[in-house]
Amino acid sequence: MTAEGIILVTGGSRGIGAATATLLAEQGRNVVIVDISPEPLVNTQTILWPAPFDVASESAVVGGIADIEAAHGPITGLVNAAGVFGKMHRIERVRMDQWDREVNIDLRGTFLVARSVGVKMAERRHGAIVNVASVAGMTSGPIHAYTAAKAGVIQITQTLAAEWGRSGVRVNAVSPGFTRTVALEAGIDSGALNKKWLESPTAMNRLVEPIEVAQAIAWLLSPLSSGVTGINLPVDAGYIAGTTWAAYGGLPETSGA
């Protein structure tokens, strides 16, 4: 990625998107954020696209990308962070309108934005895309549409990396574990989520911080990862590594002398 052009961050007004946009701006990147409910990031050099940006609408995405590039220049980096978390239900209670909403935003939206931006990158023979997936897409849980959608994000990341690799475009994904966002904290405060249960399966016995995910995304956008494409990088405090240890009596509190 060169200094020219902009980095577009979807879902950039909150959560992991906001943390990533803030970090990239601090690194001197030209960052434009879009969101379905656009709000500026105070005390940052990010540029807010003021119109609501619906990633699940093909016409809104295609038109929005064209307008953004006309106003701010070519998009050389993309962070697909827009998404919604799943409803936790037994499978017989899953409503198909909820399923459709989650899949439309998390999977269809990721694909639509990646395609709209990536085709232009391929024509210019330069660019990097990072899709935000989830460890939920690598495991199982009672968030049926969300796990399916995020698994799909991991798959399309590999496919797009192969599609555009010889055109100079890199496509990667990050899969955050349970991350201390405002939304997650609200779930804990309401009693819908149990903080101990979220932390205890992880090797590091803690939640992930949004800045930690942002740092991984920034690396995947940067020349430091110039030989990396088609990967899915978990940023999960060791959630995947630690979950199976319950079968063996649990994780050790400490190791060594």
By annotation, the residues acting in catalysis are 146
d(CA 96, CA 174): 27
Write out 23-89 in H/E/C secondary structure: HHHHCCCCEEEECCCCCCCCCCCCEECCCCCCCCCHHHHHHHHHHHHHHHCCEEEEEECCCCCCCCC
Query: Using an 8 Å Cβ cutoff, are 99 and 141 in contact?
Result: no
Give φ, ψ of 6 to 5 degrees: -125, 160
Which residues 6+ apart lie within 8 Å of 2 measured at CB?
A: 76, 126
Q: Put the strands of the sheet holding 31-34 in their side by side order.
A: 47-48, 31-34, 6-10, 75-80, 127-132, 169-176, 232-235
d(CA 181, CA 192): 15
**Which structure tokens are listed for 72?**
């701010």
Query: Using an 8 Å Cβ cutoff, are 105 and 80 in contact?
Result: no
d(CA 250, CA 248): 6
